[in-house]
């Protein structure tokens, strides 16, 4: 069919190229994702002279196409002829680095950073560094923000004159008119500091950091906090106090809660960066203040860090600091007015017991755990319950069980089904920690009650929960405690409950093993094939398929097959369908 | 009544040479159809210059946005600023139906706000009652050419003729302006959105409805933070609604909102995440002697605007324009009567619903003058330093472009002098609600029913 001089192998590539400008975004995206195939077919020469110029002008496209393009170009070095020609990729990436969409710009910068390593030192100065300068002095702030992310990759590899220029450009961007650019500079300050010589960190970076940390825009100041942490790791201990701490202290007391929030959020990193001495003298009071902050968001962020902060305190004074400085604040947070603060605390407070040891836990922490177990907000209680394992290791769970039980019961009966769902998910964990006796006595009835919950998601979770419990306590336990109750539901007047029996059997048959399944469960399932509700009948068919692998083949042939065949001639279409499915599934796989 | 007044005004305008009643403003352009039969959809509902003044956007009840661009150089009238011509027109909002609440959502554009320019394209936020959209307006002057498997006109080429691959090439084409929706910020407002305002940090903006103010990040459409909520637990206890809100032009953490009771609250977002506690309350004590049934209605704030310097704030209520110094909460530093003569007519204005009209106001670029609209296509200019004011009329019938506008006086009595009009002759169906002042030059744009008027100060 093809003409003598035409090449069949060109056709798929021709389609890909044409679809680069198809009206359908999905097709364009598809072509862009196969850009390497196109480039390979064109060869390095035509890729450089034709494809790249075309791509450079393609910045009108949809974001997702541009994003894919920006990503592709980061891996294009070999396709344009190797490191020698890698600079050809700069023009398209430069135009992508100026679009308004942040994700596209960020991806373009990421690719530029990637290919910067493939530039030879000469090319870096001849091609890459001028691009950075162009972006840095661009008219629009989109290009200037992109420039901020590129300084750190070229700085280590250029001559000292160019280094001086780069520092100057970075300085300029740190005091740019638009907050967008100052934010970009602030967020890259730490990274840039890492590649600078220590003398310039002290002379340049510190002053930029101080300026950004006192910027009029809250959004700039809060980014400077993170930079401060990075800078602190670079400086020798003796310089920290003079160069960084005044600014960080000021940030921890900033008028804007968003800045203080950032300090709280980064507190563990900060603690590691400044070392034990400053932690003791400065960070402990600062942390206390954050735990007592007037804004709930800040308190919640700080509460989240309580455990980590305590863990990282210097060992020699850890206990004293916690007992005298941190614990009083924590006590107050237990009865905070804001539920997010309380629940943030509840998610970490149990961790303190391993740090403080048995006696302190019983004396000081236990009352707090108990108070939180009785909290009005279900999330707080849930967070405590979900972290019981920490306490279990230190004091054993028995200490808590008196209060634990009412808390669990209350959550199990909460009006919000999502709360009930959450507590169900912790049941296997609790069962493991409380032991089988306690469980049988107190919790078993709850687990069974969930099986007849009026919300399907709860019934479903309850079945899954039973399976996990059997995995923990064994098949014998199952046979004695839960199987009779589950099977009893097969006679329930409510067809939904009868179906729950089937769902439970689906989940339990494998963990219970062949004997229990054949002896106890199968008869019930088979009997239910006569149910008057079609939904039950087709679920019987599904169940039979599901438990088939557990049964032996003679049982399948003599007991299961006749029932399925009967169901396959049921009046109801769905029942017929699922019965046939089961027959073909089971008897093709097992018996052939 | 309407027609007799109109004739009267025409007669007046034909009286030549009246130096005192001439203003320094002259008509520059009128946009929109001139016939009397106005379609509802064509009624303008928002007017806004961008930050350079190069573009001027209008929104209408039909959900459309029209953007005008100032021509680069004016050749014919050297003493005038360049004209504005249509740059782009697009449908911003469509009518919708909320099936959950059985509510129709009108497509009417309530507010337009431009974003500071970030690259060659321009961006604006537009909102109707419920949904805010971010639009990108960009130019394209190149298009790709060359296919492998078809001709440029779409005819297919047989694959067998394929001997070499062809990469498309961009070729110049006629300039095309495209408007594309970039973000849709929906489902965050239970009540009608009355204001949107972009923060000076260039990454967040607020949107206010009757009872709540939300804070958005421009990049995220799936979440916003509620920063003010005045909804009482029991709606029967509701006594006050939010009518307007704006961010401070320089301080990223400060915003104000005005209420239906005539007070303005200034909030500091640094203090806490939820700004239910205001840090300043600007309110004038009520004068018991003038108290009436209408007191509360006419004190409702219809617009609040910070001065460009950020030092002052202007509020518009039904009858007055007040300027507040942000450092003084107890009373305004300046009060301007917009149309005090209507005080005697509040009863009939209540009956025809005019009393609920929401007039906007705006500052001159250097904050030395302010402007707001009135009825009968009149608008008012107040010179703050000279304490001078003028009533001007938006009309094309008695003057050609470039000809100075005359100033009007509204009199309560029956005897009239030249350039006077009686209160009873005012046409309340013709009102100027939406106004915008060029950020640098002395050009103002305002909307009468379906016409956009652009006036400019005479250049010497």
pLDDT in tens, chain B (460 residues): 232 222 222 223 333 334 456 788 988 889 988 777 889 999 999 999 999 999 999 999 999 999 999 987 655 555 567 889 999 999 999 999 988 889 899 999 999 999 999 888 999 999 999 999 999 999 999 888 888 888 777 778 777 777 888 899 999 999 999 999 999 999 999 999 999 999 999 999 999 999 999 999 999 999 999 999 999 999 999 999 999 999 999 999 999 999 999 999 999 999 999 998 999 999 988 888 878 889 999 999 999 999 999 999 999 999 999 999 999 999 999 999 999 999 999 999 999 999 999 999 999 999 999 999 999 999 999 999 988 899 999 987 766 667 788 888 888 776 677 788 888 889 999 999 999 999 999 999 999 999 999 999 876 5
Q: Measure the CA–CA gap between A353 and A359, rounded to whole angstroms.
A: 9
**A218 — contact with chain B (CB < 8 Å)?**
yes
Q: Do A21 and B168 touch (CB under 8 A)?
A: yes
| Chain A residue nearest residue B148, CA to CA | A14
- What is the CB neighbour count within 10 angstroms for residue B418? 13
**Residue B453 CB burial class (10 angstroms; 0-12, 13-18, ≥19):** buried
Q: What pLDDT, on the 0 to 100 scale, is given for residue B22?
A: 73
* Shortest alpha-carbon distance between residue A299 and chain B (Å): 12
Q: Measure the CA–CA gap between A524 and A527, rounded to whole angstroms.
A: 5
- Domain count along chain A: 1
* Model confidence pLDDT, tens digit, residues A15-54: 999 999 888 999 999 999 999 999 999 999 999 999 999 9
Q: Is A82 helix (H, G, I), strand (E, B) or coil?
A: coil
Q: Which residues of A touch B270 (CB under 8 A)?
A: 218, 254-258
Contact of A556 with A586, CB cutoff 8 Å: yes
Please give the DSSP secondary-structure letter assigned to residue B375.
B
Q: What pLDDT, on the 0 to 100 scale, is given for residue B285?
A: 84
Contact of B302 with B293, CB cutoff 8 Å: no
Q: Which residues of A touch B148 (CB under 8 A)?
A: 14-15, 17-18
Q: What pLDDT, on the 0 to 100 scale, is given for residue A143?
A: 95
* Model confidence pLDDT, tens digit, residues A265-313: 999 999 999 999 999 999 999 999 999 999 999 999 999 999 999 999 9
**A99 — contact with chain B (CB < 8 Å)?**
yes
Q: Do B271 and A295 touch (CB under 8 A)?
A: yes
Q: Could you say which residues from 172 to 191 on chain A have a Cβ atom under 8 Å away from some Cβ of chain B?
A: 178-180, 183
Q: Which residues of A touch B250 (CB under 8 A)?
A: 216
* Shortest alpha-carbon distance between residue B267 and chain A (Å): 13
For residue A74, tell me if it sits in a domain: no
* Shortest alpha-carbon distance between residue B30 and chain A (Å): 33
Among residues B443, B275, B196, B59, the alpha carbon closest in space to that of A257 is found at B275
**B288 — contact with chain A (CB < 8 Å)?**
no
For residue A290, tell me if it sits in a domain: no
- State percent of chain A over pLDDT 90: 60
Q: What pLDDT, on the 0 to 100 scale, is given for residue B331?
A: 93
Residue A532 structural domain: 482-591
pLDDT at A241 over 50: yes
Q: Do A14 and B165 touch (CB under 8 A)?
A: yes
**B220 — contact with chain A (CB < 8 Å)?**
no
**A46 — contact with chain B (CB < 8 Å)?**
yes
**B170 — contact with chain A (CB < 8 Å)?**
yes
* Shortest alpha-carbon distance between residue A216 and chain B (Å): 7
For residue A214, tell me if it sits in a domain: no
Q: Do A17 and B167 touch (CB under 8 A)?
A: yes
Q: Measure the CA–CA gap between B248 and B225, rounded to whole angstroms.
A: 18
Q: Which residues of A touch B164 (CB under 8 A)?
A: 10
For residue A376, tell me if it sits in a domain: no
Structural tokens at position A465: 């929960």
Instruction: Please name the residue ranges forming H helices in A435-513.
Output: 436-438, 444-450, 456-473, 475-488, 495-512
* Model confidence pLDDT, tens digit, residues A366-376: 889 888 988 88
* Shortest alpha-carbon distance between residue A167 and chain B (Å): 24
Q: Measure the CA–CA gap between B389 and B378, rounded to whole angstroms.
A: 13
Contact of A502 with A521, CB cutoff 8 Å: no
For residue A167, tell me if it sits in a domain: no
CA A124: distance to chain centroid?
37
* Shortest alpha-carbon distance between residue B448 and chain A (Å): 35
| Chain B residue nearest residue A139, CA to CA | B119
Q: Measure the CA–CA gap between B337 and A411, rounded to whole angstroms.
A: 63
**A59 — contact with chain B (CB < 8 Å)?**
no
Q: Do A179 and B160 touch (CB under 8 A)?
A: no
**A216 — contact with chain B (CB < 8 Å)?**
yes
| Chain B residue nearest residue A3, CA to CA | B160
Output Rg (C-alpha) for chain A, integer angstroms: 33
Contact of B317 with B258, CB cutoff 8 Å: no
A385: confidence class by pLDDT, cuts 50, 70, 90: confident
ipTM: 0.85
Q: Measure the CA–CA gap between A435 and A269, rounded to whole angstroms.
A: 39
Which CATH number does the domain housing residue A553 bear?
1.25.10.10
Find all residues with CB under 8 Å of B330, minimum gap 6, and list them.
B284
Q: What pLDDT, on the 0 to 100 scale, is given for residue B5?
A: 28
Q: Measure the CA–CA gap between B317 and A366, rounded to whole angstroms.
A: 60
For residue A539, tell me if it sits in a domain: yes
What string of DSSP letters covers B102-170?
Answer: TEEE-----EEEEPPP-SSSEEEEEE-SS-EEEEEEEEEEEEEE--SSB-TTSPBPPGGG--S----EE
Q: Is B265 helix (H, G, I), strand (E, B) or coil?
A: strand
Taking CB atoms and an 8 Å cut-off, how many pairs form between chains A and B?
126
For residue A99, tell me if it sits in a domain: no
Q: Do B272 and A295 touch (CB under 8 A)?
A: yes
For residue A123, tell me if it sits in a domain: no
């Amino acid at each position: 069919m093809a003409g003598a001089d035409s090449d069949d192998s060109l056709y798929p590539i021709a389609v890909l190229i044409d679809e680069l400008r198809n009206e359908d975004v999905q097709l364009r995206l598809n072509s862009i994702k196969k850009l390497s195939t196109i480039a390979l077919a064109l060869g390095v020469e035509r890729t450089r002279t034709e494809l790249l110029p075309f791509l450079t002008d393609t910045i009108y496209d949809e974001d997702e196409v541009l994003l894919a393009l920006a990503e592709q170009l980061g891996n294009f070095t070999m396709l344009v002829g190797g490191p020698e020609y890698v600079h050809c990729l700069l023009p398209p990436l430069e135009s992508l680095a100026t679009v308004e969409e942040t994700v596209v710009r960020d991806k373009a910068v990421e690719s530029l950073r990637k290919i910067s390593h493939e530039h030879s030192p000469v090319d870096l100065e001849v091609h890459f560094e001028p691009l950075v300068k162009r972006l840095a002095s661009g008219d629009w702030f989109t290009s200037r923000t992109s420039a901020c992310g590129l300084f750190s990759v070229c700085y280590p590899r250029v001559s000292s004159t160019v280094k001086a220029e780069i520092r100057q450009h970075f300085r300029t961007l740190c005091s740019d008119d638009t907050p967008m650019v100052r934010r970009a500079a602030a967020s890259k300050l730490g990274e840039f500091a890492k590649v600078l010589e220590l003398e310039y960190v002290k002379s340049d970076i510190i002053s930029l950091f101080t300026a950004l940390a006192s910027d009029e825009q809250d959004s700039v100041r809060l980014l400077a906090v993170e930079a401060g942490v990075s800078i602190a790791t670079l400086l020798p201990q003796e310089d920290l106090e003079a160069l960084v701490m005044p600014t960080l202290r000021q940030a921890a007391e900033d008028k804007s809660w968003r800045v203080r929030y950032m300090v709280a959020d980064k507190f563990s990193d900060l603690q590691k960066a400044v070392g034990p001495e400053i932690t003791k003298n400065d960070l402990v009071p600062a942390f206390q203040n954050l735990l007592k902050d007037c804004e709930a968001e800040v308190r919640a962020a700080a509460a989240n860090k309580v455990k980590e902060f305590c863990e990282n305190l210097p060992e020699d004074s850890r206990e004293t600091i916690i007992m005298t400085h941190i614990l009083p604040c924590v006590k107050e947070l237990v009865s905070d007015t804001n539920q997010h603060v309380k629940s943030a605390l509840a998610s970490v407070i149990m961790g303190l017991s391993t740090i403080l040891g048995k006696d302190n836990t019983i004396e000081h922490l236990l009352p707090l755990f108990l108070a939180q177990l009785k909290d009005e907000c279900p999330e707080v209680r849930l967070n405590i319950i979900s972290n019981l394992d920490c306490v279990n290791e230190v004091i054993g769970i028995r200490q808590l069980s008196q209060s634990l039980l009412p808390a669990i019961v209350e959550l199990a009966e909460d009006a919000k089904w999502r709360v009930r769902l959450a507590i169900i998910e912790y049941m296997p964990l609790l069962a493991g920690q409380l032991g089988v006796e306690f469980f049988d006595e107190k919790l078993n009835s709850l687990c069974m009650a969930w099986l007849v919950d009026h919300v399907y998601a709860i019934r479903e979770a309850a079945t899954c929960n039973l399976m996990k419990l059997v995995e923990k306590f064994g098949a014998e336990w199952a046979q004695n405690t839960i199987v009779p109750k589950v099977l009893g539901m097969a006679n329930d007047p409510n067809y939904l409950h009868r179906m729950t029996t089937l769902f439970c059997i689906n989940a339990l048959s494998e963990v219970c093993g062949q004997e229990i399944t054949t002896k106890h469960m199968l008869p019930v399932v088979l009997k239910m094939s006569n149910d008057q509700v079609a939904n039950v009948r087709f679920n019987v068919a599904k169940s039979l398929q599901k438990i088939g692998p557990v049964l032996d083949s003679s049982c399948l042939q003599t007991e299961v097959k006749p029932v399925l065949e009967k169901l396959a001639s049921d009046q109801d279409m769905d029942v017929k369908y699922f019965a046939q499915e089961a027959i073909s599934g089971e008897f093709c796989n097992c018996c052939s | 009544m309407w027609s007799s007044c109109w004739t009267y005004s025409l007669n007046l305008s034909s009286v030549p040479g009246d130096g005192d009643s001439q203003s320094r403003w002259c008509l520059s352009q009128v946009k929109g159809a001139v016939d009397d039969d106005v379609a509802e959809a064509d009624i303008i509902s928002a007017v806004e210059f961008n930050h350079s003044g190069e573009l001027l956007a209008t929104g209408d009840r039909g959900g459309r946005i029209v953007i005008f661009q100032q021509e680069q150089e004016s050749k014919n009238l050297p003493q005038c600023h360049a004209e504005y011509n249509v740059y782009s027109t697009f449908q911003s909002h469509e009518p919708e139906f909320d099936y959950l609440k059985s509510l129709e959502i009108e497509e009417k554009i309530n507010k337009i706000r431009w974003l500071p320019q970030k690259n060659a394209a321009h961006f604006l936020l537009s909102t109707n009652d419920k949904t805010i959209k971010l639009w990108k307006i960009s130019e394209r002057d190149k298009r790709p050419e060359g296919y492998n498997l078809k001709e440029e006109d779409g005819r297919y080429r047989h694959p067998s003729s394929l001997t070499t691959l062809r990469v498309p090439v961009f070729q110049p084409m006629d300039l095309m302006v495209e408007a594309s929706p970039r973000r849709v910020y929906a489902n965050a407002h239970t009540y009608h959105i009355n204001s949107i305002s972009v923060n000076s940090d260039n990454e967040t903006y607020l949107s206010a409805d009757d009872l709540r103010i939300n804070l958005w990040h421009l990049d995220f459409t799936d979440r916003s933070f509620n920063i003010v909520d005045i909804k009482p637990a029991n709606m029967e206890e509701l006594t006050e609604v939010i009518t307007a809100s704006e961010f401070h032009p320089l301080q990223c953490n400060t915003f104000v909102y005005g209420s239906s009771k005539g007070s303005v609250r200034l909030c500091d977002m640094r203090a806490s995440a939820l700004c239910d506690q205001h840090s300043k309350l600007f309110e004038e004590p009520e004068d018991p002697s003038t108290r009436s049934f209408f007191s509360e209605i006419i004190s409702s704030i219809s617009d609040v605007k910070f001065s460009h310097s950020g030092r002052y704030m202007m509020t518009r209520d039904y009858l007055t324009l007040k300027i507040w110094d942000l450092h003084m909460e107890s009373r305004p530093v300046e009060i301007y009567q917009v149309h005090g003569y209507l005080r005697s007519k509040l009863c009939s204005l209540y009956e025809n619903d005019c009393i609920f009209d929401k007039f906007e106001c705006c500052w001159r670029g250097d904050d030395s003058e302010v402007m707001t609209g009135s009825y009968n296509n009149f608008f008012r200019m107040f010179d703050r330093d000279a304490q001078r004011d003028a009533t001007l009329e938006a009309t094309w019938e008695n003057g050609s472009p470039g000809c100075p506008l005359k100033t009007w006086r509204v009199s309560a009595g029956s005897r009239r002098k030249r350039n006077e009009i009686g209160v009873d002759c005012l046409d309340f169906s013709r009102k100027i609600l939406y106004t915008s002042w060029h950020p640098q030059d002395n050009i103002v744009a305002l909307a009468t029913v379906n016409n956009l008027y652009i006036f400019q100060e005479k250049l010497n």
